Structures are given as C-alpha cells and as structure tokens.
Structure 1
Amino acid sequence: MELSKLFIAGLAIFCFTACSEDTEIESPKIDAGNVISVSTYIPGTRAMDKTSFVEGDVLSLYSCLTTGNYGNSFTANFMNNVEVTRTSGGDWTYSPLMAWPTDANEHLSFIAYYPKNTSSTPMSYSYTVNDNFTEQNDPLWCTIKDASINDRNGTAINGNESDAAFEATSGALNLKFKHMLSKVNVKVKLASNYPGITCKLNDLTLNSVSPSGNFTIANDLSSGNWSTSGTKSFTLTSGAEDVLSSTEYDVAEMLMIPQDLSVQRAYFFIKYTHTLAEGGEKTVTKTIYIPNKWEMSKVYNYVINLSLDVNTISLSTEINNWDSTENPNIGTKASDPVDLGLSVKWASYDFGTVSPYDDGPGYDYYDSQNFTLTDTWGANWRIPTYDEWRELIYRCTITSMEKNGKTIYVVEGTNGNKIYFPSSDYWVPKDTGYPSYYPYCASFSNPSVYSLYSLDKDVKHPIRPVYTK
C-alpha cells in the first residue's frame, strides 16, 4: 500500500483557463493551507517486482473546475495532464503549484493515471501488453468528484461515496488508486506422482488474447471500461525442458487487459514429454480453452494439471480480488512517510495494516521494546523514541471523530498535514531521562505521554513507525 505527501516547495501565483477558452482566472495565492498537494494510496499490492512507488515515477493529473456540482462532462480546464513526480524522500511534486479555489461552491473534479498518460483526452488511457512480463507496468486510475477547499475528499472517489467529514480539510488530495488490468498467474503440475516416470515441459503458450486496448472513464467518473483490439499469442516458457512433479511449477506471472476470453476463444497450448514404463518417450500436445472473462482488478490463478492420459488433463482456476486488503505480506509493506513539521516523519498507518483507520496487531510492552522494522519496512524505519512521542503529542493538535462506530484520533502537524491513529494508546520505548522500571504510554484519548504500573505491561498496543532518512 502507498500513502505519501507532496512537499510544498514555495509560493507562487498562477493562472488557469476556465471552461471558456478565452477566459483566464487567477489562481489564489498559494500558501501552506491551500496548495493542491497530492497523496497516493493503492489497495492490495503492486504487480510484479514493483511493490511500491519509487523515485522518478510520474503520474498524470487532470482537474475540471465547475461552479456547483460536476455536470457529467469533464473538461481539463484547471489542470491538464500535469506531471506529478515521486521524489527520493517519498514525496510527490509538480510545477507550477496550484491552489484550491477559495469559494467553497467552486468544485474541482480530478482524474489521475499512473504511469503518465499519453492519450490526447483525459477520459482515455491506452495500453499494450509487454511481452517481457518482468518489465510490465501496473497502470492505475483514480477519480475524485466535486472536491473543494473545504471538502478535499469530494463527494465520491472512484464512484464510491466519500466520507468527507473523515478527511482532513487542510490535507492532501488523496488519490486512492485502483488497478486497471487483470493479473494472471499460470502454474503446471502432474496430477499425481508416477513412480519411475519423468515428465518434461517443452512448451506453453497463451493464444488468441487481445494485446492492446483503450480504457475509458465514464462521464460520471464512477467507473471505467476497456475496448480491445487484435489477438496475439504469448510464449510463457523459455524453451527449456523443465522436469515436472506433483508440486506446482510456476510458469508465468503477467498483466493482461480485461476482456471476454470466449469472444476470441483464448486457450493455452501445452507440449510435454514423459517417459514410458516399457522404455522410450511420448510427446503430448494439448489445447485447453480458458472459460473465464478477465475482469479489471482481479487475480486469476490457473493450474494446468497434467497426466499420462491426455484425456484427463484439467485446468483449475482460482479468482481473487486484487484490491483485497487481506494480504499475507501486508506487514512487509512500508507506509509512506508523512511530514508533520517535526524532527521525523511519521508513518501514515500502523505496522501490519494498510489502512490509516484500522488497528495493526497488538504487542505487549516487552515485545515492543525489542521490536525492529529493519527486515520488514527497511533500514530507514524504526520505533519512535520517548522524545519523538512527546514532540508528536505536545506540538500537534489532536482531535477525534467517529468512523463506523470506532473512535479515530486525528493528529494535525505544525504544517497542517494530518495522520490518523485508530488506537488510543501506543507503547513508548525505554529511553534516557526517565526511570526505566516504569513503562510509558502515549495516549490520544487524553493527549499525554504518561507512566504506568508494571502490572500493565501485558496490555497490547499497535506500533506506529517513524521515518528517519
């Protein structure tokens, strides 16, 4: 999961073109409170080897200014394919900076794409599947409807109703990206063990699949649909003869354009050789048609089950939601650091989750003192110190609000940026300056850093890391 803040680099005044092409409106003066800054969030995980945004990544941002509600006709009259770039510190930046309109009745609706869009229209994004699966991009999209200076979450994100009261009015434009493609994994195995028999995979291809397409966002910004063109075959094996067993053998992991496979009659073609009990070898070929549609933001896991009898070869399919937050590797995905104007940047969510609003796993006092993030989030992340907790608690503004019946604590930094804490208490590590035989806790329900009796050390609290690079 990704969440990062745009670094506000300076002050400026800029002009933009309104809906009428011959009319120019002066953008309000930019300051720390009204700049259009950017944060990003990706549900689930990224594809392939790219597990997060990295320095140099560029996304495209469009915005449409309307007086009153968005009228289901998007015109990039405020921001038109603005390049927003990831920096080495995890921030997002663009130039020139733009400011929110000062009138609360003036709304901005947004479209964002990653990677940068090359289409001539903000509603459209083109994609062609790369034959080299390890170099494929993971295109993402996001829409925000009717945002304003007092409601930067808008009325809807990706077509889903927004909880405007729960977003920081002085915070960033929160681009909650969705996956644009389908993720396809292919494995091969023998249906059972055959004593004294070996089986080799010679060839596996994916045939009659549309390699190119155009993703179009609906006029109401609620959804997107694909149109595809042409068909192509993809080689899934490298040509080597790989010995198979009853253990699943990973053949390919790839991104594909969502499409109805029954239209092209898409299929796997497989060729394998197995030894015979009486001596010699037999080469078998088989065409296996794929029964599914590939839908956007879904993961398709195919297992081809081979046997010595070509008539009993089968294809099993498991379909998962790519955007699911139930990710077994969730604890290894680092948050993006948020600058609160303090000595360190703070993680936007607890360790072990990907949501700013969900509790991470709890740790007792003893476990929290020995906890390390080096092997999971990386060397630049660590547990905050006693002084850093005090700085957060006593220098920031702390308020609370309800979300689905749960109290969430909102911490606003000295620069206006905000992060959320779903738990009221967090353990503070041992440090110089206070008696080590007392455990300390940071509290948001009664903002303070306070000491406890030793019998309370078994209580479990989540962990919120800080970033120190």
Structure 2
Amino acid sequence: MRRLRKILFFIILSAWTLTSCEKDTGTETVNVPIGFSNNVTTATRAGDINNDNLTSIGVFASLTHGNFDATVSTPNFMYNQLVEKKNGTWQYTPLKYWPNNDSDKISFFAYAPHNATGVTPSNAIQKGYPSFTYTTPTAEADQVDLLAATPIINQNGGSVDFKMQHALTKVVFNVKSNDDITGKVITAFSITGAKSGTLAFHVPANDDDKGFGWTYPSTVTAETFTATTKSLSVPDKSTPEEAMLCTYFLLPTNIGNTFNITYTYIGIKGTQTVTLTNQPLPSLDKWLSGAFVSYTIGIDKKVVTATTESHPTWGNGGQGSVDGTIN
C-alpha cells in the first residue's frame, strides 16, 4: 500500500511538472516555447558585431512569483544559457516554456558573444541583477566587440526581443606623416589602459538608459594592449590618406590611457629608430560605453602629434590634441 501511495504521488508530481509551463487557451492547455530574437545597434566597421555576424548570445533569466525583486531573485530559470543562430533562427536546448500562471514572470538579461574571451559571469546563486567581470585580452587580434542587452523585465509571453548594444569603447588609431621625410615605418605600437571591470545590469531609468553599466576596482590595474602590426608604412605627407594602424575594443574608462610607439625613418646617418613611451591621449572623457573614438598620429622627425575625434555612429563628442617631443 505504501508503494502504491509513492507511485501515485510520483504520477501527480509529474503531471504538475508537465503542465506548469503550459498556457491555457480556454479550450485546451498547450505548451508555449520561449523564442528569442536580437537587434544589434549601430555596427559599421570591420570587426564590429552586427545582425549578420552575431551567432551566439549568453542568456540569464529569473523566474519569479510576481515581479522581479533585486533583493532575492536569482538566475534560476537560465544561467549563461547558450543561444545560437542556426539557419537564420535562434535556437537553444533544452527548450523552455512560458509559465501558465499569469502572476509568474520571467526577466531576461543577455550579452554576446557567448563565453567571449575574458568574460567571467557572476555565480548562479547571486541575488539581484546578473553581472560579469571582463578582462580585456592583451592582443588586438583577440579582442571582441562585446555586446550587452537592455534587460527585459517581468515578461509572461511573446517573443524575447533583445536590443543588443556595444558595451566597450572602440578605439581606432590612424597614422600620417607631418613632414617631407619619406620611408617612415611603424614597427611597434601599444596602448595602456584598465585591465578589467565589471558590467552589471539594471532596470533602465529612462529611454536613454541602456540598462547596464561598468564599475572598476578602487585601484585600477593597468594593462598594455599590443597592436598586431609589426611593420606599417606611414603615408608620405603628399598623400592625403591616412593609414589605419589598429582597432581596439577597450573598457570605457579614462583612467591611465597612454600609448607607446616605435618607428624608423631614413636620416643622414641611415636608419634611425625612435621610441616614445607613456604618451598621453587627448579627450579621454569621450571613452564611453558604445563610443567610437579615433586618433590620428602625425609623425615627423622631431614631434609626434595625436589628434582625436569621436564618431556619431557609436557616440558623440569633441576633438583634442597632444604633442610628444622626440629627444
């Protein structure tokens, strides 16, 4: 008899589990799967992630009995769930379903690419909004255009449509010649900046609020990020075009950003090598989440001049300059 009661209990429990994520249509109860879609804002250059080349996202989701509560809610429904684009549609496994109780809500948080190099998610039992620590790869070639989505809070049906936004600052360096000396070649370049930071999600306060923000340790650890190129010819002064030296995706902070450059030129005594270190960058206040800032380094025999501008595609801002003298 005890065994029979256990079997009956198991059957009842199993039936509740199967129906708890179903929708009542009025005539019958059917499973309603949760589907995803994404839209990436303002991607324009090689290396940027856009709607066409985004292939994976990481999703956190909290199932709550009532509205999301930052004091107790955890990512108990999805934790760093891989969602992949396959054949033009977003797919994941195991498939999850909307709750059948209208008072139950699901809140979604996402970033991309899934498990990008340098991303360490908050743990699965952390209460409140999910977050992740990001440690920027030191090599230019290993850096990615990290995205984060505006949170979708207290949803009970429909499609989950993420608005993915650029989370880092895109920093592009171009070079040109400022004098009549020809044959300049850049042989090394690097930039120093913040090594790591933490991105935490929150409920947007207004339409301009992205729903996420960065914080940094009280003492920021600096790191050197190395450009891929080892030999880049600097366009002569007579050539109006600039040459692109490198593209970085860096943490949006103006703490400790300087650059180092080594280049050669042909002088009276033959090939001369010049190395400048810890050169300041202008307009660091433009390093915002989602901003696109470019610098042009003008090189002549005795002076290096760096000018900057921000681009409305990713952000807005002003211009500035700084000079570095070669001894």
Q: Report the TM-score, using the length of structure 2 for normalisation.
A: 0.70
- Secondary structure at the residue paired with 2:246? strand
Task: Give 2:6's aligned residue.
Answer: none
RMSD over aligned CA atoms reads 3.3
- Alignment partners' CA distance in 1, 2:79 and 2:234: 53
Conserved in 1, the CA contact under 8 Å of 2:229 and 2:246? Answer: no
2:121 is matched with 119
Checking the alignment, whether the CA contact within 8 Å between 2:22 and 2:98 is kept in structure 1 is yes
Aligned amino acid, residue 249 of structure 1: A
Distance 2:64 2:228 in 1: 52
- In the superposition, relative to structure 1, how do residues 41 and 272 fare at CA in structure 2: closer, same or farther (>3 Å)? same
In 2 relative to 1, CA 35–244 (structure 1 residues): closer, same or farther, beyond 3 Å? same
Counterpart in the other structure of 1:289: 280
Paired residue for 1:255?
A: 249
**Shift of residue 33 of structure 1?**
7.9
Which shifted more, 176-185 or 124-133?
124-133
* 8 Å CA contact retained: 2:137, 2:225: no
Aligned mates of 1:322, 1:121 — CA distance in 2: 35
Equivalents in 1 of 2:53, 2:254: separation in Å?
Answer: 36
Question: What letter corresponds to residue 138 of structure 1 in structure 2?
Answer: D
Secondary structure of the corresponding residue to residue 259 of structure 1: coil
2:178 is the counterpart of 1:206 = no
1:250-399 to 2 correspondences below 5 Å: 250-261=244-255, 264=256, 266-276=257-267, 280=270, 282-287=272-277, 288-291=279-282, 292-293=284-285, 294-310=287-303, 313-321=304-312, 323=314
Out of 143, 156, 161, the position equivalent to 1:136 is: 143
Whether 1:226 and 2:220 are equivalent positions in the alignment is no
Amino acid at match of 2:288: E
Report Cα offsets for 1:86-112 as digits up to 9, x if no partner.
21x111111222222234443221111
Q: 1:101: which partner in 2? A: 99
C-alpha separation in 2, matches of 1:239 and 1:55: 28
Q: Distance in 2 between matches of 1:45 and 1:32?
A: 39
Tell me how far 1:144 sits from its aligned partner: 0.8
* 1:150-179 deviation digits (Å, cap 9, x = unpaired): xxxxxxxxxxxxxxxxxxxx4x21011111
Does the Cα contact within 8 Å between 1:40 and 1:174 map onto a contact in 2? yes
Aligned to 1:147: 155
The SS at the match of 1:99 is: coil
Give the drift of 1:307.
Answer: 2.2
Residue in 1 that maps onto 2:79: 80
Per-residue deviation at 1:302?
Answer: 0.7
- Cα distance, 1:233 vs structure 2: 1.9
Q: 1:302 to 1:95 in 2, by over 3 A?
A: same
Residues 200, 96 of structure 1: alpha-carbon distance in 2 compared, 3 angstrom cutoff = same
What do the CA deviations read for 1:53-86 (whole angstroms, capped 9, x no partner)?
6799432222223344333344212223322122
Number of the residue aligned with 1:458 = none
Structure 1: 5+ residue stretches without partners? 1-12, 17-24, 150-169, 325-469
* Secondary structure of 2:100 counterpart: coil
Higher strand share: 2
Identity %: 26
Does the residue aligned with 2:311 lie in a helix, a strand or coil? strand
Which whole-Å deviations, capped at 9, do the CAs of 1:2-58 have from their partners, x for residues lacking one? Answer: xxxxxxxxxxx9959xxxxxxxx9322699883210001101117644654679943
Show structure 2 runs of 5+ residues with no match: 1-14, 125-129, 206-210, 316-327
Q: In the alignment, what sits opposite 2:325?
A: none
2-side partners of 1:55 and 1:45: how far apart?
11
Residue correspondences, number: 273
Match of 1:176 in 2: 163
Q: SS of 1:134's equivalent?
A: helix
1:406-428 CA-partner distances (Å, limit 9, x unpaired):
xxxxxxxxxxxxxxxxxxxxxxx
Shift of 1:180: 1.5
Greater relative CO (CA pairs within 8 A, separation 6+): 2
